[in-house]
Amino acid sequence: EGGVWVVGPAQLARIDFGAPLTLIDSRLGLEGTVNGVARHRGLLHVLTTSGLFVLDTTRGSRQVVPLPGVTARAWDAYDAGDHLLVATAAGVYESRSTGARVVPGTGRLSAYALAPRVDRPDTMLVGSRTGLSLLVRQGSGWRFANDVAGAPRYVRTIVTRPGGVVFVGTTF
């Protein structure tokens, strides 16, 4: 996108090369420590320890507003086309323009990471405190499929490769 996002405690800044600096912090409504950012359908989503926030520029000025329903720590996000999947301490959420809902069956997960299977884009891997789980696309949404037996606990990062190869990084 021609710029770099810089993340700090309770603030976020975008440095556009050859353009002014954009600073997003508590003065615009941002709460918590920033864990990540995701762009979905032209909107900037900010994942924080206080939930999921969206940069709203529709009111003539910039404001960061919390996405209703997602107040748990947000760790990771994946653009799934018609919605944004968000890994949180209270499960995986599907965020749409109409709001957010927890993916059925994931409310028990403290989800940290998301990654699609390279060979099966209708399958999403979820890294969590309890290990690795699978979500499958069902209609226009997602549902919990199963936990992956033998996966290590506290999966924080996931890398997938062709042929079903999956690498995970853990806290330990």
Question: Nearest to residue 23, comparing CAs of 48, 51, 55, 58?
Answer: 55
| pLDDT tens, position by position, 36-76 | 999 998 889 999 999 999 988 776 678 898 988 898 999 99
**Predicted TM-score of the model (pTM):** 0.86
Q: At 22, is the pLDDT very low, low, confident or very high (cuts 50, 70, 90)?
A: confident
Rounded CA separation 154/127 (Å) = 7
Sheet holding 123-128, edge to edge: 111-116, 123-128, 131-138, 141-147
Over 70: is that where the pLDDT of 161 sits? yes
Confidence at residue 92, expressed as pLDDT on a 0 to 100 scale: 97
Choose between 99 and 81: higher pLDDT: 81
What is the residue-averaged pLDDT of the chain? 89
